[in-house]
C-alpha cells in the first residue's frame, strides 16, 4: 500500500469514514461457477432509483472506493446508467465482471467512464477446464475477447485466478495469458462457504499440501522467504490491532439494500430501503459490535502464534460460529505458509486426542467386561 493510501486509510479510520464499499448490483448471473458462494435468484433487487439514491448517500458519507460486483453486473440492463451516475459522483470505481457481455460498445463505455479497473475471473487457459467451472460453453473465449477489448482501450484489467483442485495445474497458462493481454494477475487459493452456511463447496478447494506448494511459488506470492516467514512474537501493540477493515472503513451492500460489515460477513446491520446509510454505518448495534473487536478480545486467536500476521477473516469466523472465534480456513493458510500450527488447530487436535482416549478407555472396558 502506498504511503499516501495508508495515510488516507488511517484518517478515514480515525474519523469513522467508510472509505470503501462493495455494492453487489445483482446475484443473477449467466455463469454457474461450481464454487460460487451465492444463489442466483432475484428476490427483489433495488430499483435504479434506489441504487442512485444509495450512491448519493455513499458519496455524502465520504466513500471513495466503490466496487460494483454480483452476480454478473451486466445482467442489469441499467448497469451503465448506474455506473455513469457513480462516476459523476467521482467515486473510484472497480468493476468485477466475467466480461462475457463486454463487446466494443461496452468496452468503449467503460473507458469513457474512466473506471479504475475491471476484474475478471479466469480459471484456466484451456476452454474445457474454464468452461467446466463456469458451466457456460464458450465462456473462456468470450471473457478473453472482452478483456482484449478493454486492454486495447487502455482499461486496467485484473485477471483473478481462483485455484481449485480442477484447475490448479493451469495457473502457468493463466499467468501467460495475463502477460499476453497486459492484464494484472492475481490468485485466490481459498474457496469460501456459501452465504447460507453450506460448506459443501469447500471440498473443491486445494489440499493443505497443494496450498503449501502454492505459497512456495515465487510467481504466485512474490518473495517466498518473506511470505512464509515464521510468525513474530506478539507484543501489546499487536493485540490492540483491528482484525480488518470490515465495519471500520469498509462495508458491503447486497442487491436488496441490506448492509453488511463485509462481502462474506452475513450479519445484517440494516437496510437502505428503510434506513439512511449513514445511520446504519454510525449507529447499527451490529456494526458497533464488529467495530469493538480487537485482537486481544479473541479468546483463541489472541493466544495464537499467528495473531500478528494471520489473515483471519471475522466474516468467515462468524459463519463458523462466532465473529470472535477462529476462522479455520485462515488457520490453514497460516499453517501452509509457515508450518506453524495455529492455536485453534492445536486445540482441535487436543480435543480429538481426548476423544480418542475416551473411546479407547470405553473399548477396553467393554473388552474387559466381555472377557469376564
Partner 1 sequence: MNPVYIARSKDVAARSLEGEMMIMSAHNSTLFSLNDVGTVIWEAADGQTSLEEIVERKVGAEFDVELGEALKDAENFVRELAAHGILLLADQPIALSSATSKEHS
Q: Considering the complex, what minimum distance in angstroms separates the CB of residue 26 from partner 1?
A: 23
Q: Considering the complex, what minimum distance in angstroms separates the CB of residue 251 from partner 1?
A: 16
User: Does the footprint of partner 1 cover residue 77 (CB under 8 A)?
Assistant: no
> What is the separation of C-alpha 64 from the centre of its chain, rounded to a whole number of angstroms?
19
Instruction: Tell me which residues in 81-100 interact with partner 1 (CB under 8 A).
Output: 87-93
CA distance 174 to 348: 37
Contacting residue, 34, 52, 59, 340, with partner 1 by CB under 8 A? 59
Closest CA to 107 of 68, 162, 153: 153
CA distance 24 to 257: 9
Q: Which is nearer to partner 1, 12 or 194 (CB)?
A: 12
CA distance 192 to 45: 24
φ/ψ region of 305 (left if φ > 0, alpha if ψ in -120 to 50, else beta) reads alpha
User: Does the footprint of partner 1 cover residue 67 (CB under 8 A)?
Assistant: no
Q: Considering the complex, what minimum distance in angstroms separates the CB of residue 153 from partner 1?
A: 12
User: Does the footprint of partner 1 cover residue 17 (CB under 8 A)?
Assistant: yes
Q: Which is nearer to partner 1, 15 or 365 (CB)?
A: 15
User: Does the footprint of partner 1 cover residue 184 (CB under 8 A)?
Assistant: no
User: Does the footprint of partner 1 cover residue 308 (CB under 8 A)?
Assistant: no
List, in order, residues 6 or more apart from 64 with CB less than 8 Å away: 8, 19, 20, 91, 92
Region from 12-20, 191-199, 214-222, 231-239 binding partner 1, contact rule CB under 8 A: 12-20
Contacting residue, 12, 177, 220, 307, with partner 1 by CB under 8 A? 12
Contacting residue, 34, 62, 202, 278, with partner 1 by CB under 8 A? 62
CA distance 110 to 266: 31
Number of residues that bind partner 1 (CB under 8 A): 26
Q: Which is nearer to partner 1, 26 or 157 (CB)?
A: 157
User: Does the footprint of partner 1 cover residue 60 (CB under 8 A)?
Assistant: yes
Closest CA to 318 of 283, 282, 281, 268: 268
C-alpha cell at 304: 495464537
C-alpha cell at 255: 442487491
User: Taking a C-beta distance cutoff of 8 angstroms, is the pair 123, 134 a contact?
Assistant: yes
Q: Considering the complex, what minimum distance in angstroms separates the CB of residue 31 from partner 1?
A: 28
Q: How buried is residue 114: exposed, middle or buried, by Cβ count under 10 Å (0-12/13-18/19+)?
A: exposed
User: Does the footprint of partner 1 cover residue 52 (CB under 8 A)?
Assistant: no
User: Taking a C-beta distance cutoff of 8 angstroms, is the pair 32, 4 a contact?
Assistant: no
Q: Which is nearer to partner 1, 13 or 175 (CB)?
A: 13
Residues that bind partner 1 (CB under 8 A): 2, 4-5, 7-8, 11-12, 15, 17, 59-60, 62-64, 87-93, 114-117, 156
Amino acid at each position: 500500500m502506498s504511503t499516501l493510501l495508508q495515510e488516507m486509510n488511517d484518517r478515514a479510520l480515525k474519523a469513522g469514514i467508510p472509505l470503501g464499499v462493495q455494492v453487489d448490483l445483482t446475484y443473477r448471473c449467466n455463469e454457474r461457477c461450481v464454487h460460487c458462494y451465492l444463489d442466483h435468484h432475484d428476490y427483489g433487487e433495488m430499483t435504479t432509483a434506489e441504487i442512485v439514491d444509495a450512491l448519493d448517500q455513499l458519496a455524502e458519507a465520504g466513500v471513495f472506493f466503490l466496487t460494483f460486483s454480483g452476480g454478473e453486473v451486466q445482467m442489469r440492463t441499467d448497469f451503465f446508467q448506474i455506473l455513469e451516475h457513480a462516476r459523476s459522483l467521482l467515486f473510484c470505481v472497480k468493476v468485477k465482471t466475467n466480461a462475457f457481455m463486454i463487446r466494443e460498445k461496452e468496452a468503449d463505455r467503460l473507458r469513457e467512464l474512466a473506471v479504475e479497473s475491471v476484474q475478471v475471473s479466469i480459471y484456466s487457459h484451456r476452454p474445457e477446464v474454464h468452461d467446466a467451472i463456469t458451466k457456460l460453453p464458450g465462456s473462456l473465449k468470450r471473457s478473453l475477447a472482452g478483456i482484449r477489448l478493454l486492454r486495447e482501450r487502455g482499461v486496467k484489467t485484473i485477471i483473478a485466478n481462483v485455484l481449485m483442485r480442477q484447475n490448479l495445474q493451469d495457473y502457468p497458462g493463466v499467468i501467460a495469458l495475463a502477460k499476453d493481454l497486459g492484464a494484472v494477475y492475481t490468485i485466490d487459493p481459498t474457496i469460501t462457504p456459501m452465504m447460507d452456511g453450506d460448506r459443501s463447496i469447500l471440498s473443491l478447494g486445494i489440499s493443505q499440501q497443494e496450498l503449501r506448494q502454492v505459497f512456495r511459488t515465487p510467481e504466485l506470492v512474490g518473495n517466498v522467504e518473506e511470505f512464509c516467514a515464521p510468525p513474530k512474537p506478539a507484543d501489546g501493540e499487536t493485540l490492540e490491532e483491528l482484525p480488518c477493515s470490515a465495519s471500520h472503513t469498509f462495508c458491503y451492500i447486497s442487491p436488496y439494500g441490506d448492509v453488511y460489515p463485509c462481502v462474506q460477513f452475513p450479519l445484517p446491520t440494516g437496510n437502505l430501503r428503510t434506513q439512511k446509510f449513514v445511520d446504519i454505518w454510525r449507529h447499527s448495534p451490529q456494526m458497533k459490535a464488529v467495530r469493538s473487536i480487537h485482537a486481544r478480545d479473541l479468546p483463541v486467536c489472541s493466544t495464537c502464534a499467528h495473531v500478528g500476521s494471520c489473515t483471519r477473516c471475522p466474516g468467515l469466523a462468524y459463519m463458523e460460529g462466532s465473529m470472535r472465534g477462529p476462522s479455520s480456513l485462515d488457520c490453514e493458510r497460516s499453517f501452509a505458509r509457515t508450518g506453524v500450527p495455529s492455536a485453534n488447530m492445536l486445540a482441535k487436535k487436543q480435543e480429538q486426542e481426548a476423544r480418542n482416549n475416551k473411546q479407547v478407555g470405553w473399548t477396553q472396558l467393554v473388552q474387559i467386561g466381555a472377557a469376564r
